[in-house]
Amino acid sequence: MLSRMAEPPANRTRQPDPPAARRSLPPAGGDQLNAAIAGKLDEVAALLDEQGANPFRVRAYRRGANALRRLGEPASHILDAEGLDGLERLPGIGITLARTIRDIVRFGYSPMLARMRGDLDPLRLLGTVPGIGKRLAGRLHDELGLDTLEDLEAAAGDGRLETLAGFGPKRLAGIRAVLAQRLGRVRRPRSEERPPSVAELLDVDREYREKAAADRLPRIAPKRFNPDGQRWLPVLHTARGARHYTALFSNTERAHRLGTTRDWVVIYGDGDRTGGQWTVVTAPVGPQAGRRVVRGREAECERLYGR
């Protein structure tokens, strides 16, 4: 793989501006694409540093950016030919950076970067999938709690999409095919796909809420539902073993409508092979009423609490 690394040639002429669908990325045809992706990785590193993340993560993204600038072929070619495994085998690129590069290559957009900037828009992201317009994206977000393409893929596989009117076999098959291509899916052994325990997620939730209440966290100004541009949203970067997490209060339309923007905590997993996203809430009713639970994993929380 080292043969792929090369010093970028000098005096490259500027390529034409990219089409709107790929936004800030230049055409996939050489070192300009890699340089554009590297610039986004540098921005991730800068935001991680500013938001108090582990210095190891900051250095990892900077190393990844430098590795991309020295790459002798477009990262998109490697992703097309070898999937995530091909990106992960590059010097300086692990699975977490490979996923970030995949997102940027596939649709010129990194949910992780948008999250740290405060401009994550799940409706826009879900709406990039053919067959899902703005209205349907809103239903997926509000009724099923989907925020990312990974969420959509999981819902397409576990039967949740079939509960919504309009999702017949043909549309489901099309969505699965699009997601498999966009996400560069490489299936891994089940032993590597185990999610974190609810005890671990609840501990991250506890750390976030305690530090937010004590005003010990940096704040960002989300672009959605924030007309005055206030820096009100605390952000936590933390780790449990090999897993790195980012936690924020939910800033979705549903959370604002229900008045739960200071209760619902969204936790994003990073740094292991699964990644993931979980929402922790205070259970309003039922046997766990008043307790913190991981949405969708209430039965595990009930066993944890011993009831």
CATH number of 150's domain: 1.10.150.20
Question: Is the confidence at residue 261, as pLDDT, over 60?
Answer: yes
- 86 against 114, higher pLDDT: 86
Question: Is the confidence at residue 92, as pLDDT, over 90?
Answer: no
Q: Give the DSSP letter string of 51-89.
A: TT--HHHHHHHHHHHHHHHTBSS-HHHHHHHHHHHHHHT
- Whether 191 is in a domain gets the answer no
Q: What is the pLDDT of residue 184?
A: 56
Q: Are residues 110 and 33 in the same domain?
A: yes
Copy the structure tokens of residue 69: 């600038």
Q: Are residues 93 and 37 in the same domain?
A: yes
Which stretches within the chain are classed as H helix? 31-50, 55-69, 75-88, 95-107, 111-117, 122-126, 134-144, 149-158, 169-182, 198-213, 253-258, 298-305
- Whether 189 is in a domain gets the answer no
Please, which pLDDT band fits residue 30 given cuts at 50, 70 and 90?
low
Q: Are residues 269 and 210 in the same domain?
A: yes
Please, which pLDDT band fits residue 260 given cuts at 50, 70 and 90?
very high
Q: What is the pLDDT of residue 257?
A: 87
Q: What is the pLDDT of residue 126?
A: 85
Q: Are residues 297 and 203 in the same domain?
A: yes
Contacts of 192 (CB under 8 A, 6+ apart): 273, 274
Summarize pLDDT for 93-140 with one digit per residue, the tens.
988 899 889 888 887 778 788 888 887 777 877 888 888 888 888 888
Summarize pLDDT for 38-56 with one digit per residue, the tens.
999 999 999 999 998 989 9
Instruction: Summarize the confidence of residues 83-97 as an average pLDDT.
Output: 89
Q: What is the pLDDT of residue 275?
A: 66
Q: Are residues 247 and 282 in the same domain?
A: yes
Which of these three, 97, 115, 133, is where a domain ends? 115
Q: How many domains does the chain have?
A: 3
Summarize pLDDT for 14-23 with one digit per residue, the tens.
333 333 333 3
Q: What is the pLDDT of residue 193?
A: 57
Residue 99 CB neighbours (<10 A): 22
Summarize pLDDT for 203-240 with one digit per residue, the tens.
999 999 999 999 999 999 988 888 888 999 999 999 99
Q: Are residues 22 and 84 in the same domain?
A: yes
Instruction: Summarize the confidence of residues 262-272 as an average pLDDT.
Output: 84
Which of these three, 115, 131, 161, is where a domain ends? 115
- Whether 46 is in a domain gets the answer yes
Question: Is the confidence at residue 185, as pLDDT, over 60?
Answer: no
Q: Are residues 102 and 143 in the same domain?
A: no
- Whether 188 is in a domain gets the answer no
Query: CA-CA distance, 149 to 235, in Å (whole number)?
Result: 22
Question: Is the confidence at residue 67, as pLDDT, over 90?
Answer: yes
Residue with tokens 């043909």: 170
Average pLDDT along the chain:
81
- Decide: 6 and 71 in contact? Cβ < 8 Å: yes
- Decide: 134 and 123 in contact? Cβ < 8 Å: yes
Q: Are residues 26 and 41 in the same domain?
A: yes
Q: Are residues 131 and 90 in the same domain?
A: no
Q: What is the pLDDT of residue 28?
A: 46
Which of these three, 115, 134, 155, is where a domain ends? 115
Domain range enclosing 37: 2-115
Q: Are residues 127 and 177 in the same domain?
A: yes
Instruction: Summarize the confidence of residues 8-17 as an average pLDDT.
Output: 36
